[in-house]
Structure formats: structure tokens, C-alpha cells
Structure 1
Amino acid sequence: MSQAHFLTQGSTILVGEWLLNIDRQSISDGDIERELDPLLFKLLTYFIENDGRIISRKELADNIWQQSFVDDNAINRAISELRKALKSTKQPGQSIKTHYRKGYSLFLPLSSLPKESIIQPKNLKTNICPEALHAQQLTKPLKKAYNSWLIIIALILITTALWLYSEPAKTKSNSSSSAPFLMLKGETISWHKGLYAKLLLPPDKSKLTYTLTNEEQKMRSDLYVMDLKNRKEYLVDSGNVTSLGWSGDGERLFYYKCSNSDYSSCMQWQASNLKSGKIEKELMQSHSIEGTKVTQYNEVGDIAIFRRNKYRGVTHLNALYAYDKITKEELRITTPNIAGTGDYFLTSISNPNRIIFERHNLGQSEIYMANLDGSSLKRLATSSHRIWAATFSEDSNSLIWYNRFDSKIGSYSLASMQLEQAIEAPIDAANYVYPLSKKSLLISTDLHDYDVGILDLKTTTMNYIASADRHEQDAIALNNEKTYFSTRYGQKLKHWLKTNNQYFNITDKLGTEKKIIAANSTSTRLLSYSNKQLEILNAKDYSVIKQWKIPHQVNFAAIKNNKVAVIYTNADSQNNELMLLNTENNNKVISDIDTPLSLAWFDDTRLIVNAKHKQFLIFNSLTNTYSMLETPDNITHIKPSLITMASNDTTLFLATYQEVYNVALNTMQDPKSVFKMKPYDYILNIKVNNDKLAVSFVSTSNLNSIKLYSENTPKY
């Protein structure tokens, strides 16, 4: 039965022996009062509203977390914490019932009581969750005194909007061929002989900050601010500097200045009085804690919103935090998934104050809106590629971003709470793209170049495949000194075979959709993936030997004799899973390893798996069992920064963004560095075949400029 009419302002609900106070977000059994943190309050009220039926994990993920993927452990923890909160001497029994493989249901009886009938207990003991206390204190300076009738009207409007637009919009729907086309003309507004990076706009879009790295002094950067009205540039600071963000009014710029080139010792500064030759600079309080690093810092009124890494102990996983400068309280306001790099602040909106951020998951990016304390979280849009930058237009009351992959301006109306039709607007390849409006884009031209290096493990020499007109990636070193690689142009692939310093285009044999993801040790078999289909190909004529339908996104694969190990993202749960296939039969084994990220063959039957666990796992493909792989500290310390790995018959190779290590498989001791990337180069993938290691990487050191694109002649 529905209990939605209980959940109104000023009402109280009897949940078993507990009295739930909607206004205070607290429960009381007459002796003990407990204030629920926002997540537990939301979870409990959802169970109340859906009393009498079983609620699945997917439904909880969609409606409570409002995410396409939620780690099972996060749901388990939340249910466990809610059960603890609902347990007392007066209420000792079961509160939330588990239905095996189905979900959960509320096990306590419900009834409502009028507010005037409630007698507050005397000398009440309190048991307040610290995070709830932080959230309560953090939001105090944000509240304003409204008349009661205005509050009621606002609640009605918000409830109606949430009900009407509860389903998140998806940018994929913007791929319609009927999308408007906008002709934009580019004008260079800043060019120096160097690298433009870290472009940031304040919410009012009146200024632009960026770092400029001089071509001759690549370890030194200059921090500039440009007045976008007169396009005058002002030098803010020099050295090892990087911008962090803006104040909400655009009058103060926040940045790091570091004393060494590896950015291990940095101080946070703010600069004001920016449109003058007398810029004022002031040292600020640092928000780095226990080795974590703040990579974004913005202020909205008296609330600082910043991004910190090492969430849940994972180096590359970032969450957003809020700091109240008046109460000195800090609160984590986002809960990213472990299968991705986490949350990235995009912009803020005033009246009321809200933040817009991007959440990166495996296979997709999502745009969210939330209050400054993380409450009222709403997913606005999803995209198959990173967004990185978005702005708010007061004129159209909409959020605007640019999808560089399909060259379209996307927008979300905050008036109608709907995704608007995308506008096709081709521009130059870009590093950063900030929409100033739906007809104007500010960009820094692309400084990325994709390349491949082949490391000879016997001589430890590296040979690069760089060519002027290609962007090489996904390389595999084959036997007989041949190298396969692909290049991407938009959504289409081209395939190449390099031998004897000659390039042979083999796209006509493989097509523009297939992606070669692995090869066997003898280079006689290739593994390809496209359109949810996995295929074993003959390396001589590229004919199909065997194929499997994989209704999911394949992220990683490795071949060993007649076995194929695949990591894919489950389309339903959005969780990573490990699957074993056999090229000689139709056997298929799916492991229950939690969130596998990469893998490598340990021997003919066992795999080393890098999962979310603190230790590596060893997986037996014959018994479908796994256990922790004991490794020395110097290997364990590499794991949090690990992005991929590979192995041949004798050696395991571990790759971070900047370095490749090797470890002997028979000892699993003493990792040694075999290759380091140059500054501004970052590893994307590695593949090993016998004594050759192929390293695919991206270089971010090409000279670029800042351009302003504006409307020329629109066509509809």
C-alpha cells in the first residue's frame, strides 16, 4: 500500500516503535532520539512510501542513489546502517527484511499521528551521526527566512517537478539526424609559443584563466587571466603553478604553487584584483589530508567545494567535499562509483545555490545537479564520452556543454527540467571547450597526440611508430617484426600493419567497426570486438574462426592457448565482471570477483586479477575459485596507481600512467622499472608478446592556442 500521504511537512509516522519526525529527519522511541543522515532518511522514507512490496537493488540504485551503477557494498552498508538505526531496546527485532535474490522490504508496521498529539520525551538521550551533524551545520548558513506559505508552495513545485521528471535524460537521444546545424567561425584570441592547459571560467563567464607552459622551459608554467570583454591578458603568477577554480562572483582565483617539479610540495593561493597591474595574492589554508590531493577548489558564498583524490583508498578515484568557512565543518557531498575516476566539478548556479558536476563511470559520463551539501541529487544527462566543461546560461535558464565526440552542443533546461535538442556545431579538435552560449564556444585547440612505442625487452630500446598524419593506438607487437595498430577518425577505425618501416592499410579486411584487443603468443590468432560481438580471427586472412555474442561492453581481454579471459561491464548492473571462454567449445564461466579492472595470465590455467580489493587476486580457471595473492609491499604499493597489466610466459608487466614495471612470475618479488614516460606523456595501454612490449600513450605537449567560435550563418 502507498504511504506517500504520510510524508508531508509537519507530519509524524509511527514505524514500529519508532516515531519518525519528517521535519527533523529524526526517529524517537521515547527514550532515544536519533537524527538520520540524509542517505538513511531518504532510504527509510522510500521504504515507507513503498510499504508492502519488495524493492530490488536496481530500484534502490535508480531512486535513492540516482545512479546507473552503485557498488553492491554501498547498498549493503546503507541497509546495515539503517537496520542499526532502527534497533533499540524497545525495537529489538527485524526492521528491513532481505528477500533472497529479490531485494528488501520494510518489516515494521506503519501508522500516522497528527503532529499535535505528539508529546516530546523529557531528558531525551541523543545519538547523532557525525555526517548528519556536519550536513546540518553546513546547511545552516545557506538557509533563508521564508514565510511559511512560500515554503509550502516551493515544496509543492519541487515535488511536482521531481515526479514529472524522475527519469534521467540521456544525450544519446540527441543523435537524431534532424538536429539543427550551426555554422561557427573561429577567431584566435590568444597564441603564445607554448602549451595552453587547465582552462577555467568563473560562473559569470567574464574572465578566463589558463596555464601557459613555455616551449623552452617545459617545467615552468605561467598563470594568466584574460578579460573576455577586451581580451587583455594579465600574468598572475609563474613557476610550478596550476589553477584550481574560482569564487562564485568571479572576483578571486584559486591556484596551487609548488616548490618542485613533481608537485609533491604545493601551497594554495588566491588572487584578487585581477583586472589590474597590481594583482593581490594571499596564501590560503590547505585542504590536503593524509596524502590526498585537492585538484579543484571553488567557493560559492561561504562554502568551499573541492575535489580530493584517494576516495575509498583508490588513487585515481575522486569525490567532492564541502567546507563551511564559518563553522569550519567539512562534509563529503558525493559518493562516486569505484568503476571510474569519480566526480569532477563543472560549475555552480545561484538562486538557489547548486553545483553541477560530472561523474565518470566505465563506459559513460553523467551530469548531476545537487545542493551544496549534496542533497537533492538529480542526474540530468548521460554521455558515452567525457564532458569536462559546462556553463550556465541565465538568458535561456539552461545548462550547456559540448560533446567533442559527435561535435554537438548539448543543453538541459532548468525551466522545464528536460533535455533540449542538441545542435550540431563542428569546430577544430579541442582540448577544452566552454560554451559561452548556445551559439558561441571558447576552446583551446587540441594538444593531444596518440602514439605507440615498441619496447624491445632484450635490448631495452624503444622505437616509436609516430607519423605526422596518424594518431596511433591499441598496438600489438606481432612476430616477424610486424606491428598492428589502429587509428580513429570520429567514430570510425582504420587498421594498419607496420613491417619493414612500411605502413599497410588493412581496413578493407577488418572494417571500420572492429577493434583488435588481443593476440595469442604465436601471432596466429587475433581477438576483435564490435557491436557486442567477440571474434577470434585468423591473423593471415582475418577470417572468423569463432565468435561469441557478448551483450555488454568489453573493456579488457587476454588470450592463453585455447582460453580467452574477458572483463566486461554488465549492461544491467553496470558492474565489471570477469568471464572465461573456450575457443574449442561453448563453455562459458562467469566469476563472482567483485569489480575486476584488469588481468594477466599467471600460467596456463590461472589469472592474476587487479580488482577493487587491496591485494591482487589469483583466479583458477578450472575450478572458478580465487584467493588473495600475497605480494611484497613494493608491489602492493603500485596497485592503487595501476591502470593496466599484461604478461608473457615469464614476466608480469604493471603499468601506471607514467611508468612500466616488470616482475618475475615465478617469484613475484622485486618489481623493476623498465620504462618511464616523458613529461606530459601518459600511458593508455600495454600489450606484451614474447620479447616485445607495445606501449600506447597520449602526448599532451603539442603547441596550441585559444579560439573563440561564434555564429556565422545558422541553417535549419
Structure 2
Amino acid sequence: MDFIDESEVSFSRKVKEVTLGHWKLSPKYQTISDGSILRELEPLLFSLLTYFIKHNDRIVSRQELVEEVWKQTYVDDNAINRAISELRKVLKSEKQRSQVIKTHYRKGYSFSLDVNIIYFDTKKLEVTESNQVSEEKPELTVPKKLPRKTPHFKIKVPILAGLLLVFSVAVASYYRLTPVTSEVEKIGTITAASTLLSWKKGTSFTPQISKSFNYLAYSFRDANASGIDLYIKDLDTLKEFKVAENKADIFPIGWSGKDELFYQLIQLSDQPICEIWKVNLAKNVTDAAHEKLFDCQSDEIISADATTDGTSLLYTKYNYRGRKDLSAIVSRDLITGNEFQVSSPNISTYGDYYLKISNNEDKVVFLRSHALGTKVFLANIDGSDQSEILELNYYINSISWNRSDDSISWLNVKDKKVNTYSFNTQQVASQKVESDYAFDNTFGLQMVNNSRAVVATDYLDTNILKLDLSSPDFAVSSYSNTDMHETYIAPFHFQDAGVYVVGKNSKSIWRLVDGARKKVLSLSFTDLTGIEVSPDDKMLLVSRPHELLIYSLDNYTLMDNIKFDGVVKSASWPLLNKLLLTYSERGQQNSWFYDLEGRNLVKITNSLIKSAEMIDQQQLLLFDDKEQIQLMNVETGESTDIGSFSDTSTIKWTADKSYFYYTNDGKTVYRMSLQDYSDKQKVTELHNKTILKLTMANYSEMPALYLTVSELKDNLLLDLTFEKSVH
């Protein structure tokens, strides 16, 4: 593994000024001022000065200046001497009399002034699609392998460091009470002030600040890179260091109290690799030794937290009960390698995806996903006295303890609120956050404490591609040819046309016919889970977790609203009077028909079903909880196994009368004949895109497969401070 020094200070327009002794440097205008004198720097002197600032902790050789400032293989010595002399003159004044650039005989030069970087107030910045920054209108958009196969992305966050106080034993009497399900107390409004933490052009993920607040660890992918690298940033000096491994993805997963960083290395190939590593940064980042701890079994990003002494690691262990995508909390002794299980999630959930040890290290709080959001559990650090304390109808990215361990805090990204649950009152205090950022579109949000969070902002573009199944080479083209955020698509049955969903934080339905696009319906909600056109092309079905909405395709008026007590995971419209649902109620997820005339549910199978799709009037394809695909005759109830995907935790699929189409790596689409299950064929392979959903076109004269895909884009890494609003 290569450990590469990537020390860097950027002078983009997000940096307001740099103070150098008595001087203030403006990167935007390339000027310096000591309050009395204002001097404009010519390009060479500005480049030379900024390079010295970037590397102010060491001697810079003349050859390095030739290669990095002049960017040539050879520069005459006299040219270098003149430039250094001119820069010294520029940096000398009545206020700044001392020598700024020192000469080291036969070694090079060093910069002698202390450097301090001052940033623009990010609330006054606007980030456009081209990532250009202006200082006028505040407009910054912020939405879980890449991206996660479910809406729940496993992200880890370090514990708040500080004075450790004894956790009162009297709190234990509260743990058996009914979980809180609503926010009962509102205590005002706060604002989110931001500081830019990284300005490299690329995509940042999963930021984590150490418990000492000395370091920031985060993952980063350059657009041209083959893998995702791990960056470690010294928050005092602002220097960065990179850990890279060829074609591997590396993610920070937790810290100990001794500045030990635990990270995960994932490599997806014919023989997948998952490894947990550790590096101790307490003394020297550059020369710190990296140590492999153990192998893991996951293509998901693990969540972890360590005790202060670094001898025990609690982490989310996947492949629980034989389910690739199911995780439980496990405690591992890093000296002996022994493990014991802390939590036992139900197999019908997606398991426990995040954990945080209390400051006093006697308790652990962990998050479990359920059909509509998150359940919060509290237990002793050994897993005993475990109880559910919160059930929320939205997803939590991370959670933190306060210093005295008498409350926990998290960010409700859905409603932009900082929430704090008190163990003493068993109530949730809620503070509304005034911010330009849409926190629900992030690829990593660490709740450091109730007044601070670190966030990697919006990172994905989502679009729809059309794959022509009638062409010999399965030609792929853009569906709507726009830059808008496109997600679900519902093709028509009797013409080459369809409707699709556009938007992130506000959604609408658009119609595309013969190349003409038209917005036909604005939606007042954002939690839709799919759309489908009726078999006669007259109605549009819009799915939400607890209801199905039916609109007329003539005038887009609402015709019907069907409510459910359980959760609708997916819905299609295969028969004129019947909807096909994957429906979850009381922890059991099955396949059902919903009779539109009788307005009742009819269970199709007693097996636990993840997804289902009808391929004709009688045959139904089922994907069960064991990752088995079954072909079932709905009239006779007979079923046939046609394939197993137990070796992967991710599969997206659809089907027509002849083929089963699927992707199990998010990149390659295969099809398998329903008449000859051994007949497998690669349909297409995408590069730099991830497939989120496959949708089969219904128009038989022009067979097509639609791919909803995501593509990484440049984003920002921000340190947010929540402050009381002043009105």
C-alpha cells in the first residue's frame, strides 16, 4: 500500500485572504497589503509566493521551483535568483522588516512567516452546476459501494471528545419505557455556519473528525481514478495525506481516543476483498505505520467505534444470518481476535447500520433501519440491558452523545432539525436549522455533537438511459437528453412514449412523446417510491410508502387515493383491475395483489419476498429473502427456481416474457433466458455510472430496457456549526 504525502493549501475563490506576518494576501485579486501599502503581484511572483505558503514547513529546492512553479525541465539560475530577489522586495515594508524568504546553502529556500487562512462566509456563496463560485446569491444544494442498494447508507461518525463524567445508574430505569415517536418540544431556530474543509475537484465521501479534533479523515475519488482514496487532514496545519491502493476503495470507519484511525479497504473483483486496517496518527502522520487487523465480509461501508485504549472495536458485521445485506453489532477484542455479538436484528429489516460508544464507555447507542426510517437502541457496551428508545419515521445518518452522556443528538435531514433526546425527561427537543443546504442529498454526514456536523454535499447526478433491445449491439442512448435529475420512468404500452419523475427536493411528472417533453404534474411530496402506467394507458399510478395515488393520463387529475396501514415497498399495474405490491406489515414483507374493484389485499405467497414482477397474465417472477428467483403460476400456485444470487447482496432486475434482466454489480446488465436458464448473455456494461433501477418497456413493437443510473460529480466537504439565530 502506498502512503503518499499530498500536502496542499488551495487559493481558490473560497479563500478570502491569507495573513503572512503583517501582510494580507488576496488570492482573488493577487494583491498584498499591510494596511498602508497595496501591491499587485505579477503572475510569476504570485505563483512563487503561493508555493512557498503551501510548503512553509520545509525547505524548497531550486529544482522543485523549476518543476512546480515554472513547470519546465530547466530554468536559468539567474532567472530564479531574480524572481526570489523581486519577491523579497515585494514582501518588505516598514511594518515587515524581517527577512521573509531564507536561503539555505546548497539546499534551497524556506518561508519564515506564520500563515493563517481566512475563508469567505460560505452562506454567501453560490455553487453552480459547473462548480464555479460566486459571492452573491446563497444557493447551495446538498441528497449510500456507490450508491447504496437501499435508501439506507451505512455511515460512521466519531464520538465527541471531552471530559468523561460518570453516567448515572438512575438512567437505567428509563430504558424500559415506550419508545418516543414524536418531537415534543421545540426550542427555537438555529443557523448553520459553514467552513470549507476540502476544495479538490472530485467527489468526497464519509467524513469523520477524530475524537481529539486533531484530524479529519474522508474518502475521495478523482474523476480519472480507478479507486477511492483515503485522505487524512491535519486540522491544525491543514496539510493532507493520502492513502491509496490500486483499484481499491478505502473508507474511514472510526477512531479511538488515541488518534488511531480504523479504515476499511474494499476491492470488488472475481475474488472480492474486504479488510479492516488501523493507523496510529498520535505522533507522526507521514511515517505512521499501517496495520491490517482482520478480513471482513461486506461490500457495504462498515460503521465502527473504538474504546479509548484502542483494544476493543465495535462494528457492524455483515452477512448476519446468511444475509449479505444484513448487519449486527459485534464487539471485537483487537488483541485476541475474539468477538461477541452485541445486537440481534430481525431478518426482515436491513439490520443495525451505525453505532456510537458513550464518552464514559459503559453504553452504546445504535441505529436500526425499519420500513419507514430508524429505530434507536441503547444497551450496555456488552449488549446487555438492551432497549429501544426511539422510533422515527425518517432515516438518521449518525448520532452523537453529549459530554455528560445524559442525552444524544442527531440531524433530521428530512425536516432540517437538530434533535436532542434527554434520558432524564425522555423527550426530544427540536431546533429548526436555517440553512441553504439540503442535507438529505449527502454522501456522509457526521453528527459531531448537537452544535456541529461535518457533511459531504450532493454527490450524484441521476439520469435515465434507453437500451434498444432490438439492435444487435444493444445500443444505449440518453432518454430525455436533459441535465435534470431524472429517476423513475413509466413506459406506455401502445406507443413509444412514457412519463418520468424529475427533481430532488421538489418532484414533478414529465411526459415525453416523439421527442417532445412537457411537465404535466407537480407533486407536493418527495417520498414517492415509483410510478406505473395502467395496462390500457389511461391511468398513472404513483406509489408512496403508505398510499397509492391514481391520476388520469388525460388531464392528470387525481382519481383515487388508496391508504395502507403497512408499507408499500413497490407497486406495479400488470392487470387491468389488479395491482401487484411488495407490501410489508408487522415485520413481514410479502407479495400481494390489490383488487381495485373489491378494494382488498390478496396474499400471493407466504414466503418473505423482496420484489415481484408479472411477465404475462399468469406468470409471476419472485425474488425472495434468500436471493432466489422463482417463476410462479398464479393460478396453480406452482413455482420453479430459475436462479440464485446468494453470492451478492445487491441485485436490480426486471423481466419480459422471454428474458430475466439483471445487474449484480451496478455496472453490467445481463439477461438470462426463461426457457433455458443456462443461457446467460451480457447486454451492456457501463463505465463511471452506477445502475439504480431497471425498467422494462411495455411497447412490444420497439422493445427497450430503461436504466436509471447515477454518476459521481464534484461536491464539497463542509464543517457546519449550528448557532442560535438572531432576528
Asked if the contact 1:475–1:687 (Cα under 8 Å) also holds between the matched residues in 2, the reply is no
Identify which of 472, 475, 490 aligns with 1:461. 475
- Measure the CA separation in 2 of the matches of 1:711 and 1:238: 36
Query: For 1:200-211, what aligned pairs fall within 5 Å after superposition?
Result: 200-211=208-219
Identify which of 331, 334, 349 aligns with 1:325. 334
Cα distance change of structure 1 residues 638 and 602 upon mapping to structure 2, 3 Å threshold: farther
Query: What is the Cα deviation at residue 504 of structure 1?
Result: 0.7
Query: For 1:216-615, what aligned pairs fall within 5 Å after superposition?
Result: 216=224, 218-237=225-244, 239=246, 240-257=248-265, 264-265=272-273, 267-273=275-281, 276-288=284-296, 295-300=302-307, 301=309, 302-394=311-403, 397-429=406-438, 430-459=442-471, 460-465=474-479, 470-478=484-492, 479-490=494-505, 492-507=506-521, 517-520=531-534, 523-530=537-544, 532-542=546-556, 548-571=562-585, 573-583=586-596, 586=599, 588-613=601-626, 615=628
Whichever residue aligns with residue 234 of structure 1, its letter is F
- Measure the CA separation in 2 of the matches of 1:441 and 1:292: 26
Query: What is the Cα deviation at residue 480 of structure 1?
Result: 3.2
Asked if the contact 2:529–2:570 (Cα under 8 Å) also holds between the matched residues in 1, the reply is no
Query: What is the Cα deviation at residue 394 of structure 1?
Result: 0.8
Q: Name the counterpart of 1:706.
A: 717
Instruction: Report percent identity of matched pairs.
Output: 18
Query: What is the Cα deviation at residue 550 of structure 1?
Result: 3.0
Whichever residue aligns with residue 587 of structure 2, its letter is Q
Q: Number of aligned pairs?
A: 548
- Measure the CA separation in 1 of the matches of 2:606 and 2:240: 53
Asked if the contact 1:450–1:698 (Cα under 8 Å) also holds between the matched residues in 2, the reply is yes
Asked if the contact 1:294–1:306 (Cα under 8 Å) also holds between the matched residues in 2, the reply is no
- Measure the CA separation in 2 of the matches of 1:356 and 1:554: 29
Q: Once the two structures are superposed, what CA deviation does each residue of 1:236-260 show, in whole Å capped at 9, x if it has no partner?
A: 4554351343343041112245688
The CA RMSD over aligned residues, in Å, is: 3.5
Asked if the contact 1:342–1:360 (Cα under 8 Å) also holds between the matched residues in 2, the reply is yes
Asked if the contact 2:364–2:378 (Cα under 8 Å) also holds between the matched residues in 1, the reply is yes
Q: Once the two structures are superposed, what CA deviation does each residue of 1:629-682 show, in whole Å capped at 9, x if it has no partner?
A: 222xxx313685454433333333334351433233344442333233434524
Which stretch shifts more, 265-274 or 455-464? 265-274
- Measure the CA separation in 1 of the matches of 2:301 and 2:502: 35
Q: Name the counterpart of 2:70.
A: none
Asked if the contact 1:683–1:698 (Cα under 8 Å) also holds between the matched residues in 2, the reply is yes
- Measure the CA separation in 1 of the matches of 2:483 and 2:188: 31
- Measure the CA separation in 2 of the matches of 1:667 and 1:335: 40
Identify which of 664, 685, 694 aligns with 1:676. 685
- Measure the CA separation in 1 of the matches of 2:721 and 2:554: 50
Whichever residue aligns with residue 367 of structure 1, its letter is V
Asked if the contact 1:650–1:665 (Cα under 8 Å) also holds between the matched residues in 2, the reply is yes
- Measure the CA separation in 2 of the matches of 1:583 and 1:463: 36
Asked if the contact 1:257–1:268 (Cα under 8 Å) also holds between the matched residues in 2, the reply is yes
- SS where residue 312 of structure 1 aligns? helix
- Measure the CA separation in 2 of the matches of 1:518 and 1:603: 16
- SS where residue 443 of structure 1 aligns? strand
Query: What is the Cα deviation at residue 339 of structure 1?
Result: 3.3
Asked if the contact 1:292–1:308 (Cα under 8 Å) also holds between the matched residues in 2, the reply is no
- Measure the CA separation in 1 of the matches of 2:686 and 2:365: 34
Asked if the contact 2:568–2:584 (Cα under 8 Å) also holds between the matched residues in 1, the reply is no
Whichever residue aligns with residue 299 of structure 1, its letter is A
Q: Name the counterpart of 1:120.
A: none
Cα distance change of structure 1 residues 256 and 415 upon mapping to structure 2, 3 Å threshold: same
Whichever residue aligns with residue 269 of structure 1, its letter is W
Query: What is the Cα deviation at residue 191 of structure 1?
Result: 0.8
Asked if the contact 2:530–2:544 (Cα under 8 Å) also holds between the matched residues in 1, the reply is no
Whichever residue aligns with residue 624 of structure 2, its letter is A
- SS where residue 541 of structure 1 aligns? coil
- Measure the CA separation in 2 of the matches of 1:191 and 1:507: 38
Query: What is the Cα deviation at residue 702 of structure 1?
Result: 0.8
Cα distance change of structure 1 residues 630 and 323 upon mapping to structure 2, 3 Å threshold: same
- Measure the CA separation in 1 of the matches of 2:306 and 2:479: 45
Identify which of 180, 183, 205 aligns with 1:173. 183
- SS where residue 506 of structure 1 aligns? strand
Asked if the contact 1:603–1:649 (Cα under 8 Å) also holds between the matched residues in 2, the reply is yes
Q: Once the two structures are superposed, what CA deviation does each residue of 1:258-281 show, in whole Å capped at 9, x if it has no partner?
A: 688788245543211356353312
Whichever residue aligns with residue 183 of structure 2, its letter is S
Cα distance change of structure 1 residues 180 and 638 upon mapping to structure 2, 3 Å threshold: same
Asked if the contact 2:174–2:423 (Cα under 8 Å) also holds between the matched residues in 1, the reply is no
Q: Does residue 662 of structure 1 match 2:677?
A: no
Q: Once the two structures are superposed, what CA deviation does each residue of 1:4-50 show, in whole Å capped at 9, x if it has no partner?
A: xxxxxxxxxxxxxxxxxxxxxxxxxxxxxxxxxxxxxxxxxxxxxxx
Asked if the contact 1:477–1:693 (Cα under 8 Å) also holds between the matched residues in 2, the reply is no
- Measure the CA separation in 2 of the matches of 1:521 and 1:622: 20
Q: Name the counterpart of 1:651.
A: 659
- Measure the CA separation in 1 of the matches of 2:694 and 2:352: 23
Query: What is the Cα deviation at residue 468 of structure 1?
Result: 6.3
- Measure the CA separation in 1 of the matches of 2:270 and 2:425: 47
Query: What is the Cα deviation at residue 485 of structure 1?
Result: 1.1
- SS where residue 421 of structure 1 aligns? strand
- Measure the CA separation in 1 of the matches of 2:689 and 2:171: 46
Q: Once the two structures are superposed, what CA deviation does each residue of 1:680-708 show, in whole Å capped at 9, x if it has no partner?
A: 52414534424122222333x11112112
- Measure the CA separation in 2 of the matches of 1:707 and 1:350: 25
Q: Once the two structures are superposed, what CA deviation does each residue of 1:572-594 show, in whole Å capped at 9, x if it has no partner?
A: x1322322134455564224523
Asked if the contact 1:310–1:318 (Cα under 8 Å) also holds between the matched residues in 2, the reply is yes
- SS where residue 289 of structure 2 aligns? strand
Asked if the contact 1:476–1:694 (Cα under 8 Å) also holds between the matched residues in 2, the reply is no
Asked if the contact 1:472–1:486 (Cα under 8 Å) also holds between the matched residues in 2, the reply is yes
Which stretch shifts more, 549-558 or 448-457? 549-558
Asked if the contact 2:536–2:576 (Cα under 8 Å) also holds between the matched residues in 1, the reply is no
TM-score (norm. length: structure 2): 0.67
- Measure the CA separation in 1 of the matches of 2:330 and 2:221: 30
Identify which of 181, 191, 215 aligns with 1:183. 191
Asked if the contact 1:433–1:442 (Cα under 8 Å) also holds between the matched residues in 2, the reply is yes
- SS where residue 671 of structure 2 aligns? strand
- Measure the CA separation in 2 of the matches of 1:419 and 1:534: 31
> Which structure has the highest helix share of the two?
1
- Measure the CA separation in 2 of the matches of 1:589 and 1:674: 36
Q: Once the two structures are superposed, what CA deviation does each residue of 1:386-424 show, in whole Å capped at 9, x if it has no partner?
A: 322222221684322222222111222244443222433
- SS where residue 592 of structure 2 aligns? strand
Q: Which has the higher contact order (CA 8 A, sep 6+)?
A: 2
- Measure the CA separation in 1 of the matches of 2:316 and 2:356: 13
- Measure the CA separation in 2 of the matches of 1:601 and 1:536: 20
- SS where residue 496 of structure 2 aligns? coil
Query: For 1:620-639, what aligned pairs fall within 5 Å after superposition?
Result: 620-622=633-635, 625=637, 627=639, 629-631=640-642, 635-637=643-645
